[in-house]
Amino acid sequence: MKLEGLEDRCGMCIYAVKGVDNLPAIDVKINCLTVEVRDLHDYADSLCEKNQYELAKVDERLEVVVAELLGWIWSRDHLVVTAKNMKDYDDKFFSFRPEILERSMRQFNCDERSVEYVLSRLYLDSQFPYLISDVVRAKYRALQVALMGNQSGVFDIFNRAVDSTSEFVGQIKSMLDFQGMKVSELARELEAKLQCSQGYINTIGTVLVEDEE
C-alpha cells in the first residue's frame, strides 16, 4: 500500500476493502439484508414442522445472510467513527468520493414504525436503486399504493403511478416544495392519516442521513 501511495486512503478499514466513500451504500445494503433476515424468520415460522426440507433451506440461507449482515454492520460502525475522527485531522487523505466527507452526515436512532423513519430510509435507498432488494422494493410499492388510496390533502401528489423509487422520492420532494413543508412536518401529517406505518418497512432503527435532508 505504501508503494502505491495509498497508506492514507480515506477511511481505509483494516482489510483495505471498504472506505468512508462507501458509507451511504453500506447503510442501504444493511437495510436490505436486515429485511431479508426478518422475512426469512417469518417464513420459517409459517412452515409446518414436518416440512424439514424447506426449513433446512431457510436455515442455510439465514446462516449466509446473517453472517454477511454482521460483516456490513461492523464495517459501517467502524467507518462512522473513522469519518468523525477524520474531520478533526489536519492530514490530507485520498478519496474517490471526497463529497462524502464534505457532507454533514449524522446517525440517529428512530422508531422503525414511524413515518419519519420510512421517509429517511426511502430517500437513502433511492440513491442506490441497484442495491435495493425485491423485498424492500415491494414494501415501498405497498406504501405508495396506500398513500395513493387517500384522495385528500398532501396525498394528491401520489395520484399518479411511478416506476421507480427515485421517482417516488421526486414526488415527495415536489410536494414538500409546493406545500412549504419540512420532512418532519410531513411525517407527522402522515402519521395522523395512516394511524400506523408498521408493515411497510421493518428494519433496524438506525439511519445515516445528511442533516439538510
5 found inside a domain: no
Q: Express each pLDDT in 59-72 by its tens digit.
A: 898 998 998 888 88
74 found inside a domain: yes
Distances in Å between the alpha carbon of 7 and those of 36, 84, 126, 146?
A: 36, 19, 33, 50
Judgement on whether residues 84 and 114 belong to the same structural domain of the protein: no
102 found inside a domain: no
Return the amino acid letter for 116: E
Q: Express each pLDDT in 124-172 by its tens digit.
A: 888 888 888 877 777 777 677 666 665 444 444 444 444 566 667 777 7
Judgement on whether residues 119 and 84 belong to the same structural domain of the protein: no
Q: State the pTM of this model.
A: 0.55
Judgement on whether residues 73 and 159 belong to the same structural domain of the protein: no
Domain closes at, from 90, 118, 143: 90
- Which of 6-10, 22-26, 58-62, 153-157 shows the lowest mean pLDDT across its residues? 153-157
* Mean of pLDDT values over 98-125: 69
Judgement on whether residues 26 and 69 belong to the same structural domain of the protein: yes
What is the rounded distance in angstroms from the CA atom of residue 29 to the CA atom of residue 125?
A: 9
Phi/psi region, residue 114 (left: phi>0; alpha: psi -120 to 50; beta: rest), is beta
Judgement on whether residues 62 and 114 belong to the same structural domain of the protein: no
| Cβ–Cβ < 8 Å for 119, 194 | no
Q: Give residue for cell 463529497.
A: 99
7 found inside a domain: no
Judgement on whether residues 58 and 137 belong to the same structural domain of the protein: no
Q: Is the pLDDT of residue 208 over 70?
A: no
Judgement on whether residues 114 and 202 belong to the same structural domain of the protein: yes
58 found inside a domain: yes
Quote the number of domains for the chain: 2
Distances in Å between the alpha carbon of 209 and those of 10, 151, 195?
A: 19, 30, 25
Judgement on whether residues 202 and 116 belong to the same structural domain of the protein: yes
71 found inside a domain: yes
Judgement on whether residues 121 and 201 belong to the same structural domain of the protein: yes
Judgement on whether residues 31 and 78 belong to the same structural domain of the protein: yes
Q: What is the pLDDT of residue 153?
A: 45
186 is in which domain, residue-wise? Answer: 110-206
Q: What is the pLDDT of residue 206?
A: 64
Judgement on whether residues 133 and 182 belong to the same structural domain of the protein: yes
211 found inside a domain: no
114 found inside a domain: yes
* Mean of pLDDT values over 106-123: 73
Predicted confidence band of residue 203 (pLDDT cuts 50, 70, 90): very low
Domain closes at, from 57, 90, 123: 90
Domain closes at, from 60, 90, 120: 90
Judgement on whether residues 23 and 85 belong to the same structural domain of the protein: yes
